[in-house]
């Protein structure tokens, strides 16, 4: 991804310009010169914070929503984008004083290619402006998300998996799961995964019964129909999805069973718990949530993130642009 950015450097907005972890990541990015950081905040406060933490952010662009020269134009565009909600100029001005909305509008206006926030904002407060202003791609119905999980293997080659949707859609419908699977498979390819998609359940090919079993089976079938070239299996239990031995017993002849690397969970409960088990007990590094289906890349950090995670997520986010 660094190679992609070296060929075509991008700009990334950081909404929390005075946060020490953001400043450390920005100073590293500035030193390597393939990604141009834009820090939101008051210039003096940002510089003072950087000085106090000992990070060199010379060359970073700092933009203060309270002194932004294109603010009138931004307000106009914001009102236009939110006209169905009857937003007044006064309300728009107040909203755009907040770094999450202001930063998102910088991407919308083409001043930046991507945005990374959430070091202090909640997921909802980082994601909502993107849903409302950057919006879903024309061919998509929803924005969703995936995590990329990476674990060095004994042979020295990284084991790389994709999991979705662990962060955005709380209870996706059958059709939403189809979209999530398609987007996740595309994203997985960017990380070198040759996607083999498993629609996870507590049942394997009819062994159990229930509404969620039907949902996963139907979603798997619809995904097969929609993406004929994509290897898909479901509904399938996790053991049958990853263990060739269990797969032989439960699934017979399946291209995916036993070798799945792209996992679609029935809902956010399963997804969020599932990726964290892989991260905490399986020694996988987790990158994400990577938002899928937006018109421009915007990503959300965990509030417990460290500077290395900010740096990695900034590279991933900008490379997606
Ligand atoms: C994504 C999420 C944050 C949106 O929350 P919200 O802002 O309260 O949701 P709302 O229903 O008020 O929707 C806000 C706007 O986003 C849009 N939206 C909501 N979910 C969307 C989705 N999945 N895709 C596209 N647009 C969506 C709505 O249509 C609405 O647009 P509008 O203002 O133009 O009408 C919500 O789904 C959520 O909380 N998900 C779980 C987040 C979480 O806790 N994750 C675990 C930790 S990582």
SS3 state at 254? coil
Distance 128 CA to ligand 1 centre (A): 6
> Contact 163/193 with Cβ under 8 angstroms?
no
Does 179 share its domain with 72?
no
> Contact 143/291 with Cβ under 8 angstroms?
yes
Distance 168 CA to ligand 1 centre (A): 7
Does 7 share its domain with 123?
yes
For residue 122, is pLDDT > 80? yes
| Pocket test residue of 83, 119, 128 for ligand 1, highest count of atoms within 8 A of CB | 128
Does 37 share its domain with 121?
yes
Instruction: Please name the residue that has the structure tokens 């660094």.
Output: 2
Least confident of 62-71, 80-89, 153-162, 174-183: 153-162
Question: CB under 8 Å to 28, separation ≥6 — which residues?
Answer: 307, 311
Ligand 1 atom closest to residue 143's alpha carbon, by position in its atom list: 24
Does 159 share its domain with 120?
no
Q: Which residues line the pocket of ligand 1, CB cutoff 6 A?
A: 123-124, 127-128, 131-132, 136, 142-143, 167-170, 272, 289
Range of the domain at 124: 2-135+295-320
Task: Put the strands of the sheet holding 61-63 in their side by side order.
Answer: 61-63, 35-40, 10-14, 114-117, 298-300
The number of distinct structural domains making up the chain is: 2
Distances in Å between the Cα of 87 and the Cα atoms of 79, 90, 93 are 6, 8, 10
Tens digit of each residue's pLDDT (9 = 90 or more) over 189-240: 999 999 999 999 999 999 999 999 999 999 999 999 999 999 999 999 999 9
**CA-based radius of gyration for the chain:** 21
Q: How far apart are CA 235 and CA 290, in angstroms?
A: 24
Residue 248 lies in a domain: yes
Give mean pLDDT, residues 164-186: 97
Q: Angle at which helices 89-96 and 99-108 pack, to 10 degrees? A: 100
Nearest-CA residue for ligand 1 atom 13 is 128
Nearest-CA residue for ligand 1 atom 11 is 128
Give mean pLDDT, residues 12-23: 97
Residue 206 lies in a domain: yes
- Residue 157, pLDDT score: 84
Give mean pLDDT, residues 133-161: 93
What average pLDDT does the structure give for the chain? 95
Is pLDDT larger for residue 89 or for residue 252? 89
Q: How far apart are CA 273 and CA 321, in angstroms?
A: 29
Portion of the chain with pLDDT greater than 70, in percent:
100
Helices (H), the chain: 2-7, 20-32, 43-53, 71-81, 89-96, 99-108, 123-129, 174-190, 211-226, 238-242, 244-251, 268-281, 307-320
Does 96 share its domain with 168?
no
- Residue 92, pLDDT score: 96
Q: What's the CA angle centered on 116, arms 115 and 122, to 5 degrees?
A: 120
Residue 181 lies in a domain: yes
Q: Residue 165's pLDDT band (boundaries 50, 70, 90)?
A: very high
Q: To the nearest 5 percent, what fractions of the chain are helix, strand and coil?
A: 45, 20, 35
Nearest-CA residue for ligand 1 atom 2 is 124
CATH of the domain at 261: 3.40.50.10750
Give mean pLDDT, residues 18-31: 96
Nearest-CA residue for ligand 1 atom 33 is 132
- Residue 155, pLDDT score: 81
> Contact 268/167 with Cβ under 8 angstroms?
yes
Does 29 share its domain with 123?
yes
For residue 252, is pLDDT > 90? no
CATH of the domain at 49: 3.40.50.10950
Does 87 share its domain with 211?
no
Distance 170 CA to ligand 1 centre (A): 9
| Pocket test residue of 121, 124, 131, 289 for ligand 1, highest count of atoms within 8 A of CB | 131
Residue 272 lies in a domain: yes
Give the number of other CB atoms < 10 A from CB of residue 77: 17
Distance 196 CA to ligand 1 centre (A): 28
Q: What is the pTM of this model?
A: 0.93
Distance 124 CA to ligand 1 centre (A): 7
Nearest-CA residue for ligand 1 atom 16 is 131
Q: Angle at which helices 307-320 and 20-32 pack, to 10 degrees? A: 60
Give mean pLDDT, residues 15-28: 96
Tens digit of each residue's pLDDT (9 = 90 or more) over 291-321: 999 999 999 998 888 999 999 999 999 999 9
Does 281 share its domain with 311?
no
Residue 290 lies in a domain: no
Portion of the chain with pLDDT greater than 90, in percent:
93
Distance 240 CA to ligand 1 centre (A): 33
Residue 208 lies in a domain: yes
- Residue 96, pLDDT score: 97
Does 150 share its domain with 279?
yes
For residue 91, is pLDDT > 80? yes
Residue 179 lies in a domain: yes
Distance 131 CA to ligand 1 centre (A): 7
Nearest-CA residue for ligand 1 atom 40 is 168
| Pocket test residue of 108, 130, 168, 293 for ligand 1, highest count of atoms within 8 A of CB | 168
Does 308 share its domain with 210?
no
For residue 253, is pLDDT > 90? no
Nearest-CA residue for ligand 1 atom 1 is 168
Give mean pLDDT, residues 91-99: 96
- Residue 218, pLDDT score: 98
Does 165 share its domain with 223?
yes
Residue 21 lies in a domain: yes
Does 124 share its domain with 167?
no
């Amino acid at each position: 991804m660094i190679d992609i950015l070296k060929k075509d450097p991008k700009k990334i907005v950081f909404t929390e310009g005075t946060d020490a972890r953001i400043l450390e990541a920005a100073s590293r990015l500035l030193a390597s010169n393939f990604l141009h950081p834009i820090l939101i905040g008051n210039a003096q406060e940002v510089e003072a914070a950087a000085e106090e933490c000992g990070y060199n952010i010379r060359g970073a662009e700092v933009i203060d929503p309270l002194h932004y020269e294109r603010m009138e134009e931004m307000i106009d565009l914001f009102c236009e984008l939110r006209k169905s909600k009857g937003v007044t100029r006064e309300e728009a001005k107040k909203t755009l004083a907040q770094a999450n909305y202001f930063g998102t509008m910088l991407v919308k206006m083409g001043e930046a290619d991507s945005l990374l926030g959430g070091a202090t904002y909640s997921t909802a407060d980082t994601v909502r402006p993107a849903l409302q202003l950057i919006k879903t791609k024309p061919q998509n119905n929803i924005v969703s998300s995936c995590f990329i999980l990476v674990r060095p293997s004994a042979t020295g080659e990284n084991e790389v998996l994709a999991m979705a949707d662990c962060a955005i859609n709380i209870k996706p419908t059958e059709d939403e799961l189809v979209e999530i699977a398609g987007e996740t498979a595309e994203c997985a390819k960017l990380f070198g995964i040759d996607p083999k998609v498993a629609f996870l359940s507590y049942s394997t090919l009819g062994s159990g019964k229930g509404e969620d079993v039907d949902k996963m089976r139907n979603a798997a079938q619809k995904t097969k129909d929609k993406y004929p070239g994509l290897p898909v299996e479901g509904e399938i239990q996790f053991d049958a999805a990853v263990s060739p031995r269990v797969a032989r017993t439960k699934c017979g002849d399946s291209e995916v069973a036993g070798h799945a690397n792209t996992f679609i969970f029935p809902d956010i409960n399963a997804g969020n718990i599932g990726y964290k088990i892989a991260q905490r007990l399986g020694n996988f590094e987790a990158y994400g949530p990577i938002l899928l289906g937006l018109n421009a890349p915007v990503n959300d950090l965990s509030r417990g993130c460290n500077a290395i995670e900010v740096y990695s997520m900034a590279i991933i986010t900008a490379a997606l642009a």
